[in-house]
């Protein structure tokens, strides 16, 4: 497959042609769109399990739209290309980003985004598993979620890390940015780790269950 593609032009002339308005610009744009479409198709097909009811045509539409969006983004940020990677790699990442966002947005289009204020605990008789080290850790984490986090940190951490709402989907629903939510998660994790470290439970688990 790779051997059938035309070789990419040298980065410097390609970028110059894209930035200019000369006779070579249309071909440079066409080549850019081709590689963006290759990357967006790749990403849409990687994530196709998120869209179980989607047919080939819908997936292709998503890839085409993501490639178009990526083309606009690449041209807008062309001056930021500094040659630290190949131009194709730099451009690919815009298509991967737009295609990934599009698939996740589509997958959650009709779904309610859960924003729990607390973890729902279970009220029942204890089982042998409840006295294990893992259950004790879960209780400690649950307590830290309730006591160490602000309400906003709790809602974001539970939505993204427990309910598994994609961070960009949640950002869109809350009218904020992926950056802002990631910072909230970063601060929440720091608080949770500090709370567990204060009771000696972080040392117990750090060698076993953390990445």
Partner 1 sequence: MTYPSPRLTPERIASLLTDTDPYLSCDECFARLDEYVERRVQDPNYTDPVMSAHLSGCGACAEEADSLLELLEQDAG
Q: Which of 89, 132, 176, 199 binds partner 1 (CB under 8 A)?
A: 89
- What Å distances lie between residue 34 and 3, 7, 30, 48, 108, CA to CA? 15, 12, 6, 21, 28
69 forms part of the interface with partner 1 (CB under 8 A): no
Stretch that binds partner 1, among 9-17, 18-26, 58-66, 79-87 (CB under 8 A): 79-87
Q: In this structure, is the dihedral angle defined by the CA atoms of residues 148, 149, 154 and 158, taken in order, positive or negative?
A: negative
46 forms part of the interface with partner 1 (CB under 8 A): yes
194 forms part of the interface with partner 1 (CB under 8 A): no
Q: Which residue in 118, 126, 104 sits closest to 171, CA to CA? A: 104
Matching residue, tokens 């709402």: 165
- Closest to partner 1 by CB, 17 or 90: 90
Q: Which of 31, 36, 166, 184 binds partner 1 (CB under 8 A)?
A: 166
Q: Which of 64, 119, 172, 173 binds partner 1 (CB under 8 A)?
A: 119
**Tokens representing 157?**
């951490």
- Which run of H or of E encompasses 41? helix 25-46
185 forms part of the interface with partner 1 (CB under 8 A): yes
Distance CA 33, CA 10 (A): 16
Distance CA 137, CA 197 (A): 12
- Contacts to partner 1 by CB under 8 A: 1-2, 38-39, 42-43, 46-47, 84-86, 88-90, 92-93, 96-97, 100, 104, 119-126, 130, 134-135, 137-139, 141-142, 145, 157, 161-163, 166-168, 178-179, 182-183, 185-186, 188-190, 192-193, 196, 202, 205, 209-211
């Amino acid at each position: 497959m790779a051997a059938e593609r035309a070789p990419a032009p040298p980065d410097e002339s390609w970028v110059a042609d894209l930035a200019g308005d000369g006779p070579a610009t249309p071909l440079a744009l066409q080549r850019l769109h081709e590689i963006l479409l290759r990357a967006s198709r790749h990403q849409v097909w990687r994530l196709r399990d998120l869209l179980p009811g989607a047919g080939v045509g819908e997936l292709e539409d998503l890839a085409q739209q993501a490639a178009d969006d990526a083309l606009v983004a690449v041209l807008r940020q062309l001056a930021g290309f500094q040659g630290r990677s190949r131009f194709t790699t730099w451009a690919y990442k815009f298509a991967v980003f737009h295609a990934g966002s599009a698939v996740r947005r589509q997958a959650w289009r009709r779904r309610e985004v859960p924003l729990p204020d607390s973890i729902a605990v279970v009220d029942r008789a204890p089982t042998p598993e409840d006295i294990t080290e893992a259950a004790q850790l879960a209780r400690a984490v649950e307590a830290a979620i309730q006591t160490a986090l602000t309400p906003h940190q709790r809602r974001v951490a539970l939505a993204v890390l427990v309910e598994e709402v994609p961070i960009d989907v949640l950002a869109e629903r809350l009218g904020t940015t992926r950056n802002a939510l990631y910072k909230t998660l970063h601060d929440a994790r720091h608080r949770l780790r500090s709370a567990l470290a204060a009771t000696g439970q972080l040392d117990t688990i750090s060698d076993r269950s953390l990445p």
